Structure 1
Amino acid sequence: MHFLEHVPLAPHTTFKIGGPARWFAEAASEEEMLEGVHFARSRHLPLFILGGGSNLLVSGEGFPGLVLHVANRGIEQQEDTFRVAAGEDWDHFVSYAVERNYSGIECLAGIPGTVGGTPVQNVGAYGQEVSETIFNVRVLNLNTLGFEDLQSAACGFAYRQSIFNTTERGRYLVTRVDYKIARNGEPRIAYADLKKHFGENAAPTLAEVSTAVRSIRHQKGMLIMPDDPDCRSAGSFFKNPIISAEHYARIAGRYEKEIPRYPAPSGQVKLPAAWLLEQAGFHKGYTLGEAGISSRHTLALINRGHAEADDILALRDRIIAEVQNRFQIRLEPEPVYVS
């Protein structure tokens, strides 16, 4: 295991933004992950765990401690159980499962990042969430320095969240995720874009659904392509807010046409953040200096070529303030900010 100094972090993120890490190391096994933690603690360094860099905004100053890149690989299958190393590319695993005709994650194709990040945010898209298939998350407990297995019920999954990014943030390093997915199951066609793509009464295969999802994501600039400026982003920058039914009614009363909404727990309502941005004047292609909004997807804040983290944060803050002013809703960013 090699510990490198002053490694630029921008190439390790989909935003292509960020200064250097004081120390940087790749951990290809659980033993090396533990070694990295010991290295940081023996030198009293802050520790940051890096996966695929797809949900990350790094400051121009970089990170003053050790950035430990989780780089273990491997997929083990036992009937309908898949044990997948945290450093495995997520989209590769989706393809692996779909090619073997296993359903449950086909709508999550094309999402950038690694397997270890999926339980942290309870990654979801096009009508599926990983919490529907995760049954165990193997972790390194950074308090005890012991390895543990957390069953799904212990992970506190909710919309775009888990204990890993809320109550227990910073306590666990995910080393492996175990999924239970069904063989020969029916693909899920619940999302409007997919229904439109296939039309009524269609019966697509799992492979056709995952291919369609990638195509739709590409059309929206949400499929990471190295040479596409619309893809220098962290994907959807804001979570869809959940509000009370009464709050929704007050907003809806200002519009002649019915505004989009989705059901949420406890009788609440989920509003599309993209709709809120558009109503607040932040349209596709909007620019603010070197930061901007994708020309294909309202929720994707992009690096137009030479943006720094401060440029993205300035656009973020302007959007949050205007949406708050117009709708009394405070948008919550999805990416992690590292400084």
Structure 2
Amino acid sequence: MTSRLTESGATVSEQVPLSTLTSLRLGGPARVLAECATTDVLVDVVRLLDAEGVPTLILAGGSNLVVGDAGFDGVVVRIATTGVELGAGRVRAEAGAVWDDVVAKTVDAGFGGLEALSGIPGSAGATPVQNVGAYGVEVGSVLHRVRLLDRRTGDVRWVGPEALGLGYRTSVLKHSDAALVLDVELEVRPDGTSAPLGYRELATALGAEEGERRPAAEVREQVLALRRGKGMVLDAADHDTWSAGSFFTNPIVSDDALPAVLAAVAARVGADVRVPRFPADGGTKLSAGWLIERAGFGKGFPSEGAPARLSTKHTLALTNRGNATTADLVALARQVRDGVQQAFGVRLEPEPVPVGCEI
């Protein structure tokens, strides 16, 4: 199989530690790593592996994976495509393009609309899979279309966002191997103004009102500053950024369950405490970070010296302090999840995708 992958145009290596390819810097070895620098090579390689029934893991930026300590006993296909094209009101990016580079290029070219998504780690191809979002903007709100490889038929086609089942931090592409994103095409504002400011923290930092538009470059600069303050911009020298970003999604509590949750919060932290909550499809969205802190898990939990800890800047990030194993991180995730459920009756769901481990 290794020779056939090479013949398809991939750069092939063996026993590559996946810790070198993930933002958590965790994960055992890949039996085989096939790097694909062009979309044609990527399509050929994935078609070959699927036809042969070879266990396959697709990896690009590695920012949303929790890979087990045993690694992956199959072929890891690394998407190394990097092309970005700007046109009239649109930007097209190949799946392996670094997402923040895509945002930076649009802003530098005088386009707006993506600036609130600055600093998010990972690749362009992962953004519709996760429907990534930050500071009041989701990829789904700016997505024009996505080019997919249908892994069941081998066909390549463009689809619109309506075909993706986009929801809060999810899509039909997540937790499914049925299709692979090859390219994304997004709508941008040619006048260089931002999307309407829809997040209070960002508007306040800019001295603006919610709903205002500001120059995209100004908003990008402020978003990056806010994210750096939370350890959410990758920095090899800062262990607070050795993470998968926000580890848990903000829970959506049904209308029927909400009174019991609020009563549990009141019993623990006081009836006069305002609980951050927001309307959402299916109920009310609560802040996972807020619940984690009120359940007794503060920044830096459990203690200095622990191999896996909550970020010292942001309780929603679980971090590798330099010598953690995936088992250490998973144990911490379970402790936090179970503690929040015990305290408030709310079960937090992890955002990263586990590979070879169970959270």
- State the TM-score bracket (shorter-chain normalisation): over 0.9
Deviation at 1:145, TM superposition (A): 1.2
Aligned match for 1:285, one of 278, 283, 300:
300
Aligned equivalent of 1:69:
78
Encode CA deviations 1:284-321: one digit per residue, 9 max, x unaligned.
01027411000000100000111111111101111111
User: Which one-letter code corresponds to 1:51 in the other structure?
Assistant: A
Aligned equivalent of 2:230:
220
User: Which one-letter code corresponds to 1:99 in the other structure?
Assistant: D
Kept in 2: contact 1:4–1:24 (CA 8 A) = yes
Kept in 2: contact 1:139–1:147 (CA 8 A) = yes
Aligned-partner Cα distance in 2 for 1:145–1:162: 21
Could you say what the CA RMSD is over the residues aligned between the two structures, in angstroms?
1.6
Aligned equivalent of 1:172:
179
Aligned-partner Cα distance in 1 for 2:258–2:272: 14
Residue 183 of structure 1 aligns to a residue whose secondary structure is coil
Residue 157 (1) aligns with residue 174 (2): no
Aligned equivalent of 1:295:
312
Aligned-partner Cα distance in 2 for 1:215–1:77: 26
Aligned-partner Cα distance in 2 for 1:298–1:144: 43
Kept in 1: contact 2:164–2:173 (CA 8 A) = yes
Aligned-partner Cα distance in 2 for 1:42–1:194: 48
Aligned-partner Cα distance in 1 for 2:344–2:136: 26
Deviation at 1:200, TM superposition (A): 4.4
Residue 321 (1) aligns with residue 329 (2): no
Deviation at 1:334, TM superposition (A): 0.6
Residue 196 (1) aligns with residue 204 (2): yes
Aligned-partner Cα distance in 2 for 1:159–1:279: 23
Aligned equivalent of 1:31:
40
Aligned-partner Cα distance in 2 for 1:146–1:203: 41
Aligned match for 1:239, one of 249, 269, 277:
249
The count of residues paired between Structure 1 and Structure 2 equals: 336
- Report which stretch shifted further, 94-103 or 45-54: 94-103
Residue 274 (1) aligns with residue 289 (2): yes
Residue 312 (1) aligns with residue 329 (2): yes
User: Which one-letter code corresponds to 1:280 in the other structure?
Assistant: A
User: Which one-letter code corresponds to 1:69 in the other structure?
Assistant: R
Aligned-partner Cα distance in 1 for 2:229–2:311: 11
Runs of 5+ consecutive residues of structure 1 not aligned to the other structure: none
Kept in 1: contact 2:197–2:213 (CA 8 A) = no
User: Which one-letter code corresponds to 1:283 in the other structure?
Assistant: G
User: Which one-letter code corresponds to 2:199 in the other structure?
Assistant: Y
Deviation at 1:252, TM superposition (A): 2.8
Aligned-partner Cα distance in 2 for 1:258–1:42: 55
Kept in 1: contact 2:47–2:151 (CA 8 A) = no
Residue 245 of structure 2 aligns to a residue whose secondary structure is strand
Runs of 5+ consecutive residues of structure 2 not aligned to the other structure: 1-9
Deviation at 1:338, TM superposition (A): 1.1
Aligned-partner Cα distance in 2 for 1:68–1:213: 32
Aligned-partner Cα distance in 2 for 1:259–1:149: 42
Deviation at 1:185, TM superposition (A): 5.5
Kept in 1: contact 2:308–2:329 (CA 8 A) = yes
Deviation at 1:43, TM superposition (A): 5.5
Kept in 1: contact 2:11–2:36 (CA 8 A) = no
Deviation at 1:230, TM superposition (A): 0.9
Aligned-partner Cα distance in 2 for 1:244–1:185: 39
Aligned-partner Cα distance in 1 for 2:53–2:107: 44
Kept in 1: contact 2:231–2:314 (CA 8 A) = yes
Aligned-partner Cα distance in 2 for 1:154–1:336: 22
Residue 182 of structure 1 aligns to a residue whose secondary structure is coil
Aligned-partner Cα distance in 2 for 1:221–1:316: 18
User: Which one-letter code corresponds to 1:225 in the other structure?
Assistant: D
With the length of structure 2 as denominator, give the TM-score of the two structures. 0.90
Aligned match for 1:46, one of 55, 63, 86:
55
Residue 54 of structure 1 aligns to a residue whose secondary structure is coil
- Superposition map of 1:72-221 within 5 A: 72-165=81-174, 169-184=176-191, 186-187=193-194, 188-200=196-208, 204-221=214-231
